[in-house]
Amino acid sequence: MRIDRHDLNAAIKRSSVVWFGIASLGVAFGIYVEASGLAWWWAPTISALVFAGSFEFVLVQLLVASASLGTIAMTAALVNARHILYAGAFPLDRVEGAGAKAWSIFALTDEAYALATSRNSTGMSGAQIVMVQAGLFAAWVCGSTAGSVLGASAIPQVRGAEFSLTALFVVLAIDASRDGLDRFTGAAATFTAAMALTLAHGHALIVAMTAFVAVLAARSTTRRRRSTANG
């Protein structure tokens, strides 16, 4: 794919703050790998091959605990199951070429999904999406490497840059709610998230998203039944 300067600038402008947050979370992951007693190069290896932020911390825990491969597969399925829903809205049709599409799917993290489906992303070209994801990937792998090579002792103790990811989701949620999020959907999302945090704190994301989609499916069915009855 040809790299267009305009696309590159737009991608940097759109997501460099997020790259920064991902890199610092990557450093935290690298430090965690090193502190777990694994060789340093497992951190970039895991980050490059699995590329699933929060699950990678869980994976290292499972490795240290010598969990069975079956347990690891089940945990990966549970922690990452929310990705199943992302196919419904991620604008893969804008990404041109089989190789670029495959890359986009490989790098479909929470942050990539959020950046590519937010209100400001309607003018985002396929090339920009691919570059935003490449930046997320590079930041995550470089951060992991730096963290595991240098270790906790050598990293200057500046904490908290990963807060930018929380801020990102807050900002995009505000944009979404200003831009045609109807009251029912907003309330259902907030309510299922609150319920999931209370009932299943460790797996809040997947529990909340499953419950949310179930509510939407019920709403869609009732609505169609009603319109058939009326018509």
Compare residues 113 and 137 and give the one whose CB is closer to other proteins.
Answer: 113
Nearest distance in Å: CB 111, other proteins: 9
Nearest distance in Å: CB 8, other proteins: 16
Compare residues 2 and 122 and give the one whose CB is closer to other proteins.
Answer: 122
Nearest distance in Å: CB 198, other proteins: 10
CA–CA dist 45, 69 (Å, integer): 18
Nearest distance in Å: CB 137, other proteins: 13
The tokens describing 159, both together, are: 């904490």
Compare residues 69 and 229 and give the one whose CB is closer to other proteins.
Answer: 69
Candidates 212, 216, 114, 113; CA nearest to 168 is: 114
Nearest distance in Å: CB 127, other proteins: 19
Handedness of CA 89, 168, 196, 190 (dihedral sign): negative
**Angle of helix 204-230 versus helix 183-199 axis, rounded to 10:** 140
Query: b or e along 61-96 (b: 16 or more beta carbons within 10 Å of the residue's beta carbon)?
Result: ebbeeeeeeeeeeebbeebbebbeebeeebebebbe
Compare residues 154 and 174 and give the one whose CB is closer to other proteins.
Answer: 174
Compare residues 38 and 100 and give the one whose CB is closer to other proteins.
Answer: 38
Nearest distance in Å: CB 16, other proteins: 8
Q: Which H or E run includes 98?
A: helix 98-106
229 φ/ψ angles, rounded to the nearest 5 degrees: -65, -40
Compare residues 127 and 189 and give the one whose CB is closer to other proteins.
Answer: 189
CB 182 within 8 A of CB 69: no
CA–CA dist 135, 22 (Å, integer): 9
